[in-house]
Each structure stands twice: as structure tokens, then as C-alpha cells.
């Protein structure tokens, strides 16, 4: 049978994954898990509408629990480009990570945080690297951080509403946020304390790297 080269990125991705099916699994091929995560957010459209009325806050990356390469530092999570932060590898799917940020404006009441997941299009099969769940802590100092959200499941997608690995926080300020770059939005508790520091906790790992599977 004559073979025709796939014509687009999704077809190439599917073809490579089919070739690797006995060697490596891809977390975003789990349609049932993807549906469960999506169901959590069906009634949360108001979050994005609220964000559009708020002011994005400038953050400084302070500390990452691990970093795989100095070129893949926490600072990359604050830029809207192809750069990304990467943790060190782990054979334990329950391993977690944490990212600590300082708000440039002191003692702010944060309402929402945006976070996107990185898809490694330079790796075979374009694997997505989401945590299993994400949560947020806020507080006045790095040593005084308090839970500011539940454990949120993370959607297994890099659909159009998702940009490259980018973190931003939104607080009350009255300025409008442009609608041209929507991101995945997570709400913080209205009872969360005013803060100067934000910690993003990434719980678990859903995707195994090829190097670990080989």
C-alpha cells in the first residue's frame, strides 16, 4: 500500500504516536480524563468575564522548586513567547513542583491567576506536560503563605485559549484587559489574604518523557 506523508501537524502527531504506542503513552490521548477535567469548568465562563474587567499585575519570578536547565528558568513563565520553565525529570508520577512569585505592587488582593501548559513540539508526538492538579497560595512573605484555592484539575489541551507557558495574576484595579489573548483562568478564594507573594503548586505529573520510557 502506498504511503502518503501526513499534510498537517495533527496528522503527523497522530502518525508518530501510533508508531510509539507500544513504547510511550500520551496523557492527552486519554479522552475520558480530558472530559472529566472539562466538566469542572462548564459553569465558569464568568471567571474570564471578570478577568477582562481587572488589571494584570506585574510579577517577578523568585524561586522554582527545581529547574532542568538554566535557560528554562521561572522567568520564562512571565513572557508570552515560545520560552518555558521546565522542572527536572522524575520517575515518580506523584512528584510535585512549586513556583514562587513576588508582586511588584505590595499587598494586593488577587482574584485570578492564569496559567498555561507547555506542549513540546520538538519532541516525538508533541507531548503535553500538565500537572495533575494545580493550587495557589498567597501571603505577605515567602514564609507566610496560606491556601488561596482548592485543587483544580488541569485541562489536557493546548486549544486556542491556551498560550505558551505564561503566568499572570489579576487583582482589583479597574483597568481593562485586552480580549485578544485569553488564557486558562483559575479563581482564587475571595477570603484569600492580601498578599505580596504568590506560590503556584503543581501536583503530580501526567506525562512521562521519552528519555524515561526508553
**CATH code of 79's domain:** 2.60.120.260
pLDDT range class, residue 76, cuts 50, 70, 90: confident
Q: Is residue 73 part of a domain?
A: yes
Cell numbers of 109, please? 488582593
| CB-count burial class (<10 Å; 0-12, 13-18, 19+) for 143 | exposed
Cα distances (Å, whole numbers) of residue 189 to 148, 193, 194: 5, 9, 11
The answer to whether residue 33 scores a pLDDT higher than 70 is: yes
The answer to whether residue 151 scores a pLDDT higher than 50 is: yes
Domain count for the chain: 1
Radius of gyration of the chain (CA): 18
Mean pLDDT of 110-135: 82
Look at 12 and 98; give whichever has higher pLDDT.
Answer: 98
Residue 42, domain extent: 9-213
Q: Is residue 32 part of a domain?
A: yes
Q: Is residue 149 part of a domain?
A: yes
The answer to whether residue 143 scores a pLDDT higher than 80 is: yes
pTM across the whole model: 0.78
Q: Is residue 3 part of a domain?
A: no
The answer to whether residue 160 scores a pLDDT higher than 50 is: no
The set of residues, in sequence order, having a beta carbon less than 8 Å from that of 112 and lying 6+ positions away, is 47, 50, 51, 54, 169, 170, 185, 186, 187, 188
At 18 the pLDDT is 82
Q: Is residue 4 part of a domain?
A: no
The answer to whether residue 162 scores a pLDDT higher than 70 is: no
At 158 the pLDDT is 64
Q: Which of 99-108, 122-131, 167-176, 183-192 has the lowest mean pLDDT?
A: 167-176
Q: Is residue 200 part of a domain?
A: yes
What's the mean pLDDT when you consider all of the chain?
A: 75
At 6 the pLDDT is 54
Q: Is residue 2 part of a domain?
A: no
Q: Is residue 1 part of a domain?
A: no
Amino acid at each position: 500500500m502506498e504511503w502518503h506523508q501526513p499534510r498537517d501537524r495533527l496528522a503527523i502527531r497522530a502518525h508518530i504516536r501510533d508508531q510509539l504506542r507500544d513504547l510511550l503513552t500520551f496523557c492527552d490521548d486519554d479522552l475520558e480524563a480530558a472530559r472529566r477535567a472539562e466538566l469542572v469548568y462548564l459553569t465558569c465562563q464568568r471567571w474570564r468575564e471578570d478577568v477582562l474587567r481587572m488589571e494584570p499585575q506585574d510579577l517577578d519570578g523568585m524561586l522554582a522548586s527545581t529547574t532542568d536547565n538554566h535557560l528554562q528558568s521561572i522567568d520564562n513563565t512571565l513572557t508570552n513567547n515560545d520560552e518555558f520553565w521546565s522542572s527536572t525529570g522524575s520517575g515518580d508520577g506523584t512528584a510535585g513542583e512549586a513556583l514562587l512569585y513576588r508582586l511588584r505592587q505590595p499587598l494586593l488582593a488577587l482574584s485570578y491567576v492564569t496559567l498555561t501548559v507547555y506542549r513540546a513540539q520538538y519532541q516525538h508526538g508533541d507531548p503535553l506536560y500538565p500537572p495533575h492538579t494545580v493550587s495557589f497560595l498567597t501571603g505577605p512573605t515567602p514564609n507566610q503563605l496560606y491556601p488561596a484555592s482548592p485543587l483544580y484539575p488541569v485541562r489536557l489541551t493546548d486549544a486556542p485559549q491556551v498560550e505558551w507557558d505564561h503566568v499572570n495574576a489579576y487583582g482589583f484595579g479597574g483597568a481593562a484587559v485586552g480580549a485578544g489573548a485569553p488564557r486558562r483562568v483559575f479563581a482564587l478564594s475571595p477570603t484569600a489574604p492580601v498578599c505580596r507573594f504568590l506560590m503556584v503548586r503543581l501536583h503530580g505529573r501526567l506525562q512521562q518523557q521519552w528519555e524515561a520510557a526508553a
